[in-house]
Structure 1
Amino acid sequence: MAFDFKPYTPASEFTTQAAYFSMEFALDQALKTYSGGLGFLAGSHMRSAYELKQNLIGIGILWTFGYYDQGRNEDQTMRCDFRHKHYSFLEDTGLIFPITIHGAEVQVKAMYLAPDTFGTAPMFFLTTDIPENDYISRTISHHLYDADTAARVAQSILLGVGGGKLLDVLGVKMDVYHLNEGHGLPLAFYLYEKHGRKLEEVQKRLVFTTHTPELAGNEEHPMKLLTDMTFFGSVPADEIRRVAGVEQEMLNYTLTALRFSRKANAVSKVHGTVANQMWGANKGICSIIPITNSQNGSYWRDQQLHEALVANDDQALLARKRKLKKQLFDIVADQTGTLLDPEVLTVVWARRFAGYKRADLILRHFERFQELVNRTDRPVQVIWAGKPYPKDYGAIGLFNDIIQKTKGLKTCAVLTGYELALSGYLKRGSDVWLNTPRFPREASGTSGMTAAMNGSLSLSIADGWIPEFVRHGENGFLIPHTDIYQPDHVKDNIEATSLLDVLENEIIPLYYNEPAKYLAVAKAAMREVEPEFESGRMATEYYQKLYNA
Structure 2
Amino acid sequence: MSFENFKVPYEVDKTYAKKVAYFSMEFAIHQPLKIYSGGLGFLSGSHFRSAYELRQNMIGIGILWKYGYYDQERNQDQTLDVAWNEKLYSFLEDTGIKFQIMVHDTPVWVKAWYLNPETFKTAPLFLLSTDLPENDYVSQTICHKLYDANVATKVAQFILLGVGGAKLIDLLGFDPELYHLNEAHGLSAAFYLYRKFNRNLEEVKKRLVFTTHTPEEAGNEKHDIWLCHKMSYFCGLEVDEVKTLTRDYGDQFNHSLVALRFAHVANGVSKLHGEVSREMWGKYEGICPIVSITNAQNWNYWADKQMYKFKDVGDDYGFDDRKWFLKKRAFEIVADQTGKLFDPRVLTIVWARRFAGYKRAGMIASDLQRFNQLVHSTGFPVQIIWAGKPYPMDFPAISEFNELVHLSKNYKNVAVLTGYELGLSKRLKQAADVWLNNPRVPREASGTSGMTAAMNGAVNFSTDDGWIPEFINHGHNGFVIPKADYANMHTHEQDQYDLDKLYEILTGQVIPLYYQDYNTWRQIMKNGMQDVRWQFESNRMAHEYYALMYNANQ
Q: Structure 1 length as normaliser, TM-score? A: 0.99
Cα deviation, residue 101, structure 1: 0.7
Number of residue pairs aligned between Structure 1 and Structure 2: 549
Is 1:523 the counterpart of 2:526 in the alignment? yes
Name the residue aligned to 2:431: 429
1:394-414 Cα shifts (integer Å, max 9, x gaps): 100000001112211111100
Question: 5 Å matches for 1:224-263?
Answer: 224-263=226-265
Is 1:506 the counterpart of 2:546 in the alignment? no
Question: 5 Å matches for 1:175-214?
Answer: 175-214=177-216
1:6-28 Cα shifts (integer Å, max 9, x gaps): 52121110110001100000011
Name the residue aligned to 1:322: 324
| Separation in structure 2 between the aligned mates of residue 405 and residue 35 of structure 1, nearest angstrom | 25
Q: Residue 439 of structure 1 aligns to a residue in which SS?
A: coil
The residue identity in structure 2 corresponding to 1:544 is: A
| Separation in structure 1 between the aligned mates of residue 215 and residue 104 of structure 2, nearest angstrom | 30
| Separation in structure 2 between the aligned mates of residue 275 and residue 423 of structure 1, nearest angstrom | 29
Question: 5 Å matches for 1:464-475?
Answer: 464-475=466-477
Cα deviation, residue 462, structure 1: 0.4
The residue identity in structure 2 corresponding to 1:405 is: L
Is 1:51 the counterpart of 2:37 in the alignment? no
The residue identity in structure 2 corresponding to 1:496 is: L
The residue identity in structure 2 corresponding to 1:529 is: V
| Separation in structure 1 between the aligned mates of residue 509 and residue 519 of structure 2, nearest angstrom | 14
Name the residue aligned to 1:77: 79
The residue identity in structure 2 corresponding to 1:394 is: P
Q: Residue 455 of structure 1 aligns to a residue in which SS?
A: coil
Cα deviation, residue 328, structure 1: 1.1
* Residues 11 and 52 in structure 1, CA contact (< 8 A), matched pair in contact too: yes
Give the stretch that moved more between structures: 450-459 or 403-412.
403-412
* Residues 102 and 232 in structure 2, CA contact (< 8 A), matched pair in contact too: yes
* Residues 98 and 109 in structure 2, CA contact (< 8 A), matched pair in contact too: yes
Name the residue aligned to 1:3: 3
| Separation in structure 2 between the aligned mates of residue 194 and residue 151 of structure 1, nearest angstrom | 25
Name the residue aligned to 2:548: 545
Cα distance change on mapping 1:319 and 1:298 into 2, 3 Å: same
The residue identity in structure 1 corresponding to 2:56 is: Q
Q: 2:70 aligns with which of 59, 68, 71?
A: 68
* Residues 216 and 280 in structure 2, CA contact (< 8 A), matched pair in contact too: no
Q: 1:18 aligns with which of 20, 25, 30?
A: 20
The residue identity in structure 1 corresponding to 2:498 is: E
Q: Residue 513 of structure 2 aligns to a residue in which SS?
A: helix
Which segments of 5 or more consecutive residues in structure 2 lack a partner in the other structure?
Answer: none
| Separation in structure 2 between the aligned mates of residue 480 and residue 474 of structure 1, nearest angstrom | 15
Q: Residue 473 of structure 1 aligns to a residue in which SS?
A: coil
| Separation in structure 2 between the aligned mates of residue 126 and residue 497 of structure 1, nearest angstrom | 48
Which segments of 5 or more consecutive residues in structure 1 lack a partner in the other structure?
Answer: none
Is 1:291 the counterpart of 2:284 in the alignment? no
1:98-153 Cα shifts (integer Å, max 9, x gaps): 11111110111000000000000000000000111111100000000000000000
Name the residue aligned to 1:132: 134
Q: Residue 530 of structure 1 aligns to a residue in which SS?
A: helix
| Separation in structure 1 between the aligned mates of residue 464 and residue 173 of structure 2, nearest angstrom | 46
Cα deviation, residue 307, structure 1: 1.1
Is 1:438 the counterpart of 2:440 in the alignment? yes
Q: Residue 22 of structure 2 aligns to a residue in which SS?
A: strand
| Separation in structure 2 between the aligned mates of residue 383 and residue 228 of structure 1, nearest angstrom | 46
The residue identity in structure 2 corresponding to 1:386 is: G
Q: Residue 40 of structure 1 aligns to a residue in which SS?
A: helix
Cα deviation, residue 429, structure 1: 1.4
Q: Residue 378 of structure 1 aligns to a residue in which SS?
A: coil
Q: Residue 206 of structure 2 aligns to a residue in which SS?
A: helix
- Alignment root-mean-square deviation, CA: 1.1
Cα distance change on mapping 1:128 and 1:350 into 2, 3 Å: same
The residue identity in structure 2 corresponding to 1:505 is: G
* Residues 2 and 95 in structure 1, CA contact (< 8 A), matched pair in contact too: no
Cα deviation, residue 216, structure 1: 6.3
Cα deviation, residue 186, structure 1: 0.1
Cα distance change on mapping 1:336 and 1:115 into 2, 3 Å: same
* Residues 182 and 257 in structure 1, CA contact (< 8 A), matched pair in contact too: yes
Is 1:270 the counterpart of 2:261 in the alignment? no
Cα deviation, residue 217, structure 1: 4.3
| Separation in structure 1 between the aligned mates of residue 237 and residue 61 of structure 2, nearest angstrom | 24
* Residues 474 and 521 in structure 1, CA contact (< 8 A), matched pair in contact too: yes
1:47-66 Cα shifts (integer Å, max 9, x gaps): 00000000000110000001
Name the residue aligned to 2:495: 492
Name the residue aligned to 1:395: 397
The residue identity in structure 1 corresponding to 2:368 is: F
Q: 1:98 aligns with which of 97, 100, 111?
A: 100
Cα deviation, residue 215, structure 1: 5.1
Name the residue aligned to 1:344: 346
The residue identity in structure 2 corresponding to 1:35 is: S
* Residues 217 and 280 in structure 2, CA contact (< 8 A), matched pair in contact too: no
Cα deviation, residue 338, structure 1: 0.9
Q: Structure 2 length as normaliser, TM-score? A: 0.98
1:309-345 Cα shifts (integer Å, max 9, x gaps): 1212111110000000001111000000111110011
| Separation in structure 2 between the aligned mates of residue 86 and residue 337 of structure 1, nearest angstrom | 31
The residue identity in structure 1 corresponding to 2:3 is: F
Give the stretch that moved more between structures: 490-499 or 508-517.
490-499
Give the stretch that moved more between structures: 208-217 or 258-267.
208-217
Q: Residue 434 of structure 1 aligns to a residue in which SS?
A: strand
Cα deviation, residue 2, structure 1: 5.8
| Separation in structure 1 between the aligned mates of residue 524 and residue 260 of structure 2, nearest angstrom | 41
1:236-288 Cα shifts (integer Å, max 9, x gaps): 22121111011211110000000000000000011011111111110111000
| Separation in structure 2 between the aligned mates of residue 442 and residue 520 of structure 1, nearest angstrom | 28
Q: Residue 534 of structure 2 aligns to a residue in which SS?
A: coil
| Separation in structure 2 between the aligned mates of residue 2 and residue 530 of structure 1, nearest angstrom | 38
| Separation in structure 2 between the aligned mates of residue 511 and residue 377 of structure 1, nearest angstrom | 12
Cα deviation, residue 46, structure 1: 0.4
Q: Residue 531 of structure 1 aligns to a residue in which SS?
A: helix
Cα deviation, residue 460, structure 1: 0.2
* Residues 147 and 154 in structure 2, CA contact (< 8 A), matched pair in contact too: yes
| Separation in structure 1 between the aligned mates of residue 407 and residue 337 of structure 2, nearest angstrom | 17
| Separation in structure 1 between the aligned mates of residue 391 and residue 514 of structure 2, nearest angstrom | 36
Give the stretch that moved more between structures: 233-242 or 385-394.
233-242
Name the residue aligned to 1:456: 458
| Separation in structure 1 between the aligned mates of residue 88 and residue 219 of structure 2, nearest angstrom | 29
Q: 2:370 aligns with which of 368, 371, 380?
A: 368
* Residues 292 and 465 in structure 1, CA contact (< 8 A), matched pair in contact too: yes
Cα deviation, residue 3, structure 1: 3.2
Cα deviation, residue 192, structure 1: 0.8
| Separation in structure 2 between the aligned mates of residue 479 and residue 359 of structure 1, nearest angstrom | 16
1:148-184 Cα shifts (integer Å, max 9, x gaps): 0000000000000000000100111210100000111
* Residues 388 and 419 in structure 2, CA contact (< 8 A), matched pair in contact too: yes
Give the stretch that moved more between structures: 459-468 or 206-215.
206-215
